[in-house]
Chain A
Amino acid sequence: MSERRFTLITGRTTKQGRSIHLGKEAKEFLDEISTLQMNLKDIEVLGLQEGDQVRLTTRDGSAVVKFKKGDIPEGLVFIAYGGFVNALVGSDTQATGMPNTKGIEVEVERHG
């Protein structure tokens, strides 16, 4: 299977919170916000190998990022707040003021 639907969770991490003080072009910050955390079984199902990149596609946009195994349930993927999240989140707020930033449907596929 080359692509699969997941639920995308975005959020803070300690690394993201620390490295933001180094500047948003700092390697530490960029590494953290461009790494998708996935369950090992999902990595295997998608046939991903170390060093591969993945393309994330939501109904609002897409982004290409690295991936790593994370302590996260099957079917969920996580990425820290930053520029890559911005490309995936839409601006519709259903008249609440708040865009859907967590629990977003996303397709994940191997890139390249």
Chain B
Amino acid sequence: MAESVGVKEVKVVEGVTCPFCGVTCDDLVVHVENGKIKEVKNACVLGKDTFMHHLEGWATPRIHGKPATVDQCIDAAAEILAKAKYPLIYGLDSTELGAQRKSIELAELIGGNIDHTSSVCHAPSLQAVQTVGISSCTVGEVKNRADLVIFWGCNPAEAHPRHPTRYSVTAKGLFTPKGKKDRMVINVDVRPTPTARMADAFIQIKPNSDYEVFSALRALLKGHELDQAEVGGVAIDEWKTLLEKMKSSKFGILYWGMGLTMSRGKYLNIVALLTLTQELNRFTKFLAAPMRGHGNVVGMAQVLTWQTGFPFAVNMSRGYPRFNPGEYSVADLLAHGEVDAALILAADAIGNFPAKMAEHLRSIPMIAIDPKESETTKVATVVIPSAQAGIAAGGIAYRMDHIPLVMKKVVDSPYPSDREILERIIAKVAAMKNGGNGAPVPASGARG
């Protein structure tokens, strides 16, 4: 709804979905004045800053560091990708579902590798879920039913500030009318983060001991006695107490974070966690869920899985999808210097990768599609600015519990959306390949 106040054009957009983190809060109210965001209500500090600073640090269209038009940049990007023999498409978790679908279509067209920021985040969780399955639920069920919430190797107080208040700690639900008083919150981590301060109990374990701890808990759950006095630096009796709380809860959930995925054991840590929570269902209702990072990180894994069968690290060079973490995953492709061109969309690869990976990216033709300047745009061969998804471009985002939500466009941008840029690159690449500069376009086109 828009109304005129003098010369000002004021717009209040309600029910806005925040694109920053995986909680994707969908109750934001954004005040827009003359095309600029003036106020954001209901958001956490991270979400508020996402909207309030969206005009700062915009990227500009460039080729080899020189100013160019968006059209010229799209042509240059298409040329790089059409000529590449083993390209990489990466990033993708901070955009909307339509752009994510297009990125897969492009990967298929150029016979490239496609991976997303999950690869260096919760990919081990995705591997574990595909290995042993998951007993899980929506955040709504946690709000309404959970009387035991365990945060393991995650720090929602800093990374997902509204998760505790909307769903998991103080939230009042159907069977949890007193909120915090109706549930016990336990935090397990290697250090006391701000999440420990909102928990009823904090268990401090040794770094890299999670697999051992989950294995011990599984043994204890099966009635075995252990010889050791402690596991992971914590007394066995304390683990037995935790296990009793888990077994006696009516509805328990264990949320985990990158404390497990990024440390020794990787996906095996999550396999052990998921197996433990599945086995607890012999005693009570017990579930598990990952605390996902970027706004639409789940969307990319969803669309990639429904189109290729695999959630990350997919290779299309033979014309059909292949999955092999350790080979087609971004860290390994770059560390081994295998890819000869890259398209990075909605991610600061150079700013976030270990030095050796960034070094290879700097050495190859690279296209950066991003609303903002970053370490990646600084060195990219081609920079294409885009309208920021969830702020200046609409679309669908999947919440961390796999619920699709509509992201609204609240302001205009002079630049095209990620989806439109990819559509235009696809059209150019397809034309070049049809012109004899590569393999013909598959007759069936891309799925989805």
Contact = CB atoms under 8 A, between A and B. Distances in A.
B353 A98 contact: no
Nearest to B330: A97
Interface string A3-32: 000010111111001100111100000000
B264 A12 contact: no
A61 interface: yes
Contacts of A87: 355
B26 interface: no
A2 interface: no
A56 to B, nearest CB: 14
B375 A24 contact: yes
Nearest to A101: B262
Interface residues of A, number: 40
Interface stretch (B48-56, B132-140, B404-412, B433-441): B48-56
A102 B351 CA distance: 18
A99 B348 contact: no
B332 A86 contact: no
A57 to B, nearest CB: 14
A90 B325 contact: no
Contact of B331 (A7, A76, A99): A99
Contacts of B191: 9, 71-73, 76, 78
A95 interface: yes
B208 A103 contact: yes
Interface stretch (B100-108, B155-163, B244-252): B155-163
B56 to A, nearest CB: 6
B158 A96 contact: no
B46 interface: yes
Contacts of B375: 24, 83
**Residue among A23, A90, A93 with max Cβ neighbours from chain B (10 Å):** A93
A22 B259 contact: no
B204 A18 contact: no
A97 B326 contact: yes
Interface string B357-385: 11000000000000011110000000000
A96 B265 CA distance: 10
Contact of A92 (B45, B52, B263, B335): B335
A30 to B, nearest CB: 12
B325 A96 contact: yes
Contacts of A17: 45-46, 49, 158-159
Nearest to B21: A17
Interface string A32-64: 000000000000000000000000000011000
B267 interface: yes
Contacts of A100: 262-264
A60 B373 CA distance: 28
Interface string B16-60: 000000000000000000000000000001100110111011000
A89 to B, nearest CB: 4
A101 B335 contact: no
B119 A12 contact: no
Contact of B326 (A14, A18, A81, A96): A96
A73 B120 contact: no
B266 A94 contact: yes
B46 A24 contact: no
Given A91-B331, A91-B334, A86 B123 contact: no
Contact of A18 (B49, B124, B334, B355): B49
B278 interface: no
A90 B120 CA distance: 12
A96 B267 contact: yes
B263 A91 contact: no
B258 A97 contact: no
B355 A23 contact: no
A12 B159 contact: yes
B120 A99 contact: yes
Given A23-B56, A86-B355, A97-B313, 6 more contacts: A11-B155, A22-B53, A23-B373, A24-B348, A72-B192, A73-B190
22 contacts: A7-B190, A11-B155, A14-B45, A14-B46, A22-B57, A60-B355, A61-B355, A73-B204, A82-B351, A86-B353, A86-B355, A91-B332, A91-B335, A91-B354, A93-B326, A95-B332, A96-B124, A96-B266, A98-B261, A98-B267, A99-B120, A101-B262
Interface of B: 45-46, 49-50, 52-54, 56-57, 119-120, 123-124, 127, 155, 158-159, 161, 190-192, 194, 204, 207-208, 258-259, 261-264, 266-267, 312-313, 325-327, 329-332, 334-335, 348, 351-358, 372-375
* Interface pairs A-B: 9 shortest CB-CB: A97-B329, A95-B326, A91-B335, A97-B325, A21-B53, A103-B263, A101-B262, A103-B207, A89-B354
